[in-house]
Chains A and B, each alone.
Chain A
């Protein structure tokens, strides 16, 4: 497996890719915050937020529908919010008698449910945009500038670096299991459930030891190449005038969205 499968960065030459990663991180967080603060049922404000997303999508050269396609990842969780439909407030819309339980969806509940879905859907899209337009090491560097403890950013940097190596290791282990699990068609292969779990546990233990030994070797190699405790980067990360302008403009736009959402 190659890095490209996991890395979500999409190379394009756009000014959004060029922006300082700190600005992009801040705007992403503020956008999600703005969604969270907007009251339920403020459709115009939600629409404006989406419009903003579309503009950024377009400007980043990724295509209008880019984040839309990838935003389905958050869908399964929507199941959890379904119960918001049956709010005790508001007037009932219908009565569903399922025999063991009677469910009464209300208009209040419906507005709440749809609002939660929209908020989550908008937030996921901006997060997708952030990682699609920012290389991961730059992102980490930005987080470091934003005062995340260095211990934590270094751990995350290592995690990112060795994710691919260890993922390959997992595939190797899984392949070995497949190769040893021959079975006749139609006959249920494998042993009992406890045997299967024990095998998985041994696989996890094996993976742990391989990772552990590997980290030892990696560390020796890094020391011999002059590692001093943190990862250096060539990117200077200086805020230029455009960065400041975009940051201020984004905050201004989000304030307008809040205004639209609250004043009706």
Chain B
């Protein structure tokens, strides 16, 4: 099977526990929101369709095409899934794909799966769909161009966030890894963008009913536009800043008290209520308290939901 691991799937051991947990929390929040949204807005029939679509994304990742010099571009699919299925369904589909890749093929870790789902599923859906939503009722050419641009930015943003996660975990030096990751993914993202556009154009030509542009159940609210635009602007602004001048980012971070050093990774879980890689500052203590509070709220929330469910049954 010509299944090749993509450089975005972070394995276990490369992220520290604090970074993994933070991204798990964000991912769990977004995915449960997606579950409740899709349960409400889509019929029961949508679930098998989403399953087969997830298998499609997985299978489509095998379609690689030669670029030059032995490298080949291939397809991540997050943006296409979000545009065709709607943003919430897109997130669920990508969650399933990343989950299966980690479980079955050990492509990406289990403890860091939260971060992987965030990078490849949530970020791509928010950026790809958010930008596309902006031009949803425009002409075909504009829509396709924006879809392609969204796919490229989403890939770059995923690479950027993955580099930042690795850096915060003390696994890499930002000034080495960020330019490398962004450089590679500028190419991969180009392939992603072109395939997304070509696939969308093909689907629109042959089965316009599938895209179903006016289906309100699929259409995300205007909030997607805001989120998509803001996050892609952030990614566009941070990337050149960080890769052109990584010391700059590190300096900003340390000026803000954000890190004693990028490489003093947290060896302990919040020792003395300070986050190790943030150093001993007031901000660090506040952040540690916040993380603790979020974890607690999460546990209480889950417990409460379970208890209620048991009452019902």
Q: Tell me, yes or no, whether A binds B.
A: yes
Contact A204 B199 (CB under 8 A): yes
Q: Do residues A36 and B44 form an inter-chain contact, with CB atoms below 8 A?
A: no
Contacts of A59 in B (CB 8 A): none
In the complex, whether A157 has a CB less than 8 A from a CB of chain B is: yes
Residues of A within 8 A of B177 (CB): 80, 83
Are the CB atoms of B106 and A128 closer together than 8 Å?
A: yes
> Which among A1, A120, A152 is the interface contact of B109 at CB below 8 angstroms?
A120
Residues of B within 8 A of A211 (CB): 52-53, 55-56, 59
Return A109 CB to nearest CB of chain B, in Å. Answer: 8
Does B302 make an interface contact (CB < 8 A)? yes
Total interface residues in chain A, CB < 8 Å: 92
The answer to whether B110 and A167 touch across the interface, beta carbons within 8 angstroms, is: no
- Contacting residues of chain B (1-36) with chain A, CB-CB under 8 angstroms: 1, 5, 7, 9-17, 20, 31-32, 35
Beta-carbon contact of A202 and B198 below 8 Å: yes
Residues A36 and B199 in contact, CB atoms below 8 Å apart = no
Residue among A36, A76, A206 facing the most chain B CB atoms (10 A cut-off): A36
Residue A81 at the B interface, CB < 8 A?
yes
- List residues of B (56-99) whose CB comes within 8 Å of A's CBs: 56, 58-60, 62-68, 73, 75, 80, 84, 92-93, 95-97, 99
Check A158–B173 contact: CB distance below 8 A: no
Evaluate whether A119 and B198 lie within 8 angstroms (CB atoms) in the complex, with A73-B5, A80-B177 already known.
Answer: no
Q: In the complex, A216→B97 CA distance in Å?
A: 20
State whether A35 touches B13 (Cβ < 8 A): yes
**Is A159 touching B203 in the complex (CB atoms < 8 A)?**
no
The answer to whether B38 and A151 touch across the interface, beta carbons within 8 angstroms, is yes
For the complex, what is the distance from the CA of A74 to the CA of B20, rounded to whole Å? 18
Residues of B within 8 A of A73 (CB): 5, 105-107
A194 to B64, CA, bound (A): 14
Question: B92 touching A196 by the CB < 8 A rule?
Answer: no
Q: How far is the CA of A112 from the CA of B171 in the complex (A)?
A: 8
Residues in chain B near residue A170, CB distance under 8 A:
59-60, 62-63
Distance in angstroms from A133 CB to nearest chain B CB is 13
Tell me whether B14 and A116 are in contact (CB under 8 A). Answer: yes
Contacts of A199 in B (CB 8 A): 65
Task: Report B-chain residues with C-beta under 8 Å of the C-beta of A33.
Answer: 17, 111
Complex CA gap A118/B13 in Å reads 8
A205 with B55: CB separation less than 8 A: no
B31 to chain A, nearest CB (A): 7
Q: Does A219 lie within 8 Å of B48, measured CB to CB?
A: yes
In the assembled complex, which residues on chain B have CB atoms less than 8 Å from the CB atom of A84? 170-173, 263
Report the bound CA distance from A196 to B17 in whole Å: 43
Chain A, 201-239, contact with B by CB distance < 8 Å: what is the 0/1 string? 111111111011011101100100000010000000000
Contact yes or no, A166 B47, CB < 8 A: no
Assuming the contacts A120-B11, A162-B51, asked whether A86 and B267 have C-beta atoms less than 8 A apart, the reply is no
Closest chain A CB from B176 CB (angstroms): 4
* Alpha-carbon distance between A209 and B60 when the two chains are bound, in angstroms: 12
A88 interfacial by beta-carbon distance below 8 Å? yes
Task: Evaluate contact between B206 and A81: CB separation under 8 angstroms.
Answer: no
Stretch at the interface among B130-138, B189-197, B216-224: B189-197
Q: Which residues of B contact A166 (CB under 8 A)?
A: 52, 55-56, 58-59
What CA separation (Å) do A147 and B303 show in the bound complex?
11
Within 8 A of B (CB), among A150-191: 151-152, 154-163, 165-167, 169-170, 173-174
Select one of B55, B173, B200 contacting A86, CB under 8 A. B173
Evaluate contact between A40 and B267: CB separation under 8 angstroms: yes
Task: Give chain A residues whose Cβ lies under 8 Å from the Cβ of B252.
Answer: none
B55 touching A162 by the CB < 8 A rule?
A: yes
Q: Is the CB of A8 within 8 A of B58?
A: no
In contact, B93 and A155 (Cβ under 8 angstroms): yes
CB-CB under 8 A from A8, the residues of chain B are 104-105
- Which residue in A5, A39, A139 is a CB contact (below 8 Å) of B267? A39
Within 8 Å of chain B (Cβ to Cβ): is A66? no
User: Closest CB-CB distance, B313 to chain A, in whole Å?
Assistant: 13
CB distance from A73 to the nearest CB of B (A): 5
Within 8 A of A (CB), among B185-236: 191, 194-203, 206-207, 210
Q: Does B295 contact A (CB under 8 A)?
A: no
Besides A155-B92, A211-B59, 6 new A-B residue pairs in contact (Cβ under 8 A), listed by A number: A6-B104, A80-B7, A84-B172, A116-B13, A163-B59, A215-B52
Kindly list the 4 A-B residue pairs having the minimum CB-CB distance in the complex, ordered from nearest.
A201-B198, A158-B51, A205-B202, A120-B13
18 contacts between A and B (CB under 8 A): A36-B20, A77-B11, A87-B263, A89-B261, A116-B14, A120-B109, A124-B11, A127-B12, A127-B110, A128-B106, A155-B47, A167-B62, A193-B68, A194-B194, A201-B194, A212-B52, A215-B48, A229-B47
